[in-house]
Chain A
Amino acid sequence: MIAARIHPEDLIDQAKHGALRTDQERLLKSHLDGCAACRFELSLAPALYQSIELRAQDQAVIARAIANVSRAPRHDGRGKLGRKTASALTLLVSLLAGVAMASAGAYLWQRHNAAPVGEPASEGVPTAPAR
């Protein structure tokens, strides 16, 4: 049975940042002697993407991506509203408040002018003829 190979990822991280002590360097070297995968990983250090050269036309690609975001609505999750949105909301709340006040006034006026409580409501109710 072959034991699973342990890769010294922490030593590789330290090597990428130039922070290896002499004893750690010796340990890492002894692993690298038998591990092509770790040697390959170190050959890409600090990261593969940093070796990728951008082309002249890529500046336009980047500019378009950023311009697109500045035009798109932002959802930053902090409840910040744009000036126009805030103005529209203020107008809407004022309108709703006005409608609510008018409704309340109409209701009070209607109650004030209604028939007094206790007056018999005989109109329209059929009664038996007296004998």
Chain B
Amino acid sequence: MSEIAGQLRAQPTPAIPRADRLADMGRAAAAGQEGALEKLLRALAPDMLRILRAVLGPRQGGIDELLRQSVLVFVSAIAQLPDDGAVSTAALVIAFRQALAVRGRWPGSGLEAGAAAVPEPFPELEHRRAVIADLLLTLPPPQAEALGLRAVVGLTVDEIARATGVGAITVRGRLRVAKESLDAALARDPALRALVHLEPAA
């Protein structure tokens, strides 16, 4: 566990210059500059697709259409986004909400034909992803959204508060309830606890 904290402390913060670049691209796209929107979408769409796959799983069908919808929603919202460099966060939140809405409608369905036989290249990651994705399906929507924006999208409490239009205290309350469910899910899954070294230090 101290290894986790140590690794985190040692992490560089390469996201900041990228966020600045994306904010500039967002301003240019909102101003209607030639080619700016396409450039912005080329930068953001891969992460939007990662969000969809993180929530829906690697073999969920219909991702093509879902990404197209997510991109369209983002484009229609771009002129209304605050000029605070949050263009990337907005795109990720839109993709997450699209995925969450679909996950409620297609629980466990929509798999590509024959895809279940393909071995997963990263079973540990897939195991962790599935724990979160299952919780998103079983938690009440406000808690599911808070947990997903935290664990899948990686937003801070304040960012979640801004994205969901509620106060930071409400977000903390929703996360607390969601983490109780996460705790229970982990307790039922000793393989996962061992897999990611979740057992408490002796």
Contacts and interface: CB of A to CB of B under 8 A. Distances in A.
A49 interface: yes
B154 A65 contact: no
Contacts of A66: 38, 41-42, 45, 71
The binding surface of chain B is classed by DSSP as helix
Given A17-B13, A18-B8, A41-B151, A52 B54 contact: yes
Contacts, number: 179
B132 A33 contact: no
Nearest to B196: A43
A75 B200 CA distance: 53
B179 A38 contact: yes
Interface stretch (A76-84, A98-106, A117-125): A76-84
Interface in B64-83: 64, 67-68, 70-72, 75-76, 78-80
A69 B78 CA distance: 13
Contacts of B129: 48, 52
A37 B196 contact: no
Residue with the highest number of chain B CB atoms closer than 10 Å, among A10, A58, A65, A75: A65
Given A5-B176, A40-B186, A69-B71, A61 B50 contact: no
Contact of B8 (A37, A45, A77): A45
A127 to B, nearest CB: 75
B7 to A, nearest CB: 9
Nearest to A47: B154
Interface string A4-45: 111101100101111010000100110011111111111111
Interface stretch (B20-28, B100-108, B120-128, B137-145): B120-128
B157 interface: yes
B67 A65 contact: yes
Interface in B143-202: 150-154, 156-157, 172, 175-176, 179-180, 182-183, 186-187, 193, 196-198, 200-201
B13 A52 contact: no
A64 interface: yes
A61 B67 CA distance: 8
A15 B76 contact: no
Contacts of A29: 1-2, 5
B80 to A, nearest CB: 6
A65 B179 contact: no
14 contacts: A15-B5, A15-B9, A16-B154, A33-B201, A39-B1, A42-B4, A44-B132, A45-B8, A48-B151, A48-B152, A65-B45, A66-B42, A75-B76, A77-B80
Interface of A: 4-7, 9-10, 13, 15-18, 20, 25, 28-29, 32-54, 58, 61-62, 64-66, 68-70, 72, 74-78, 80
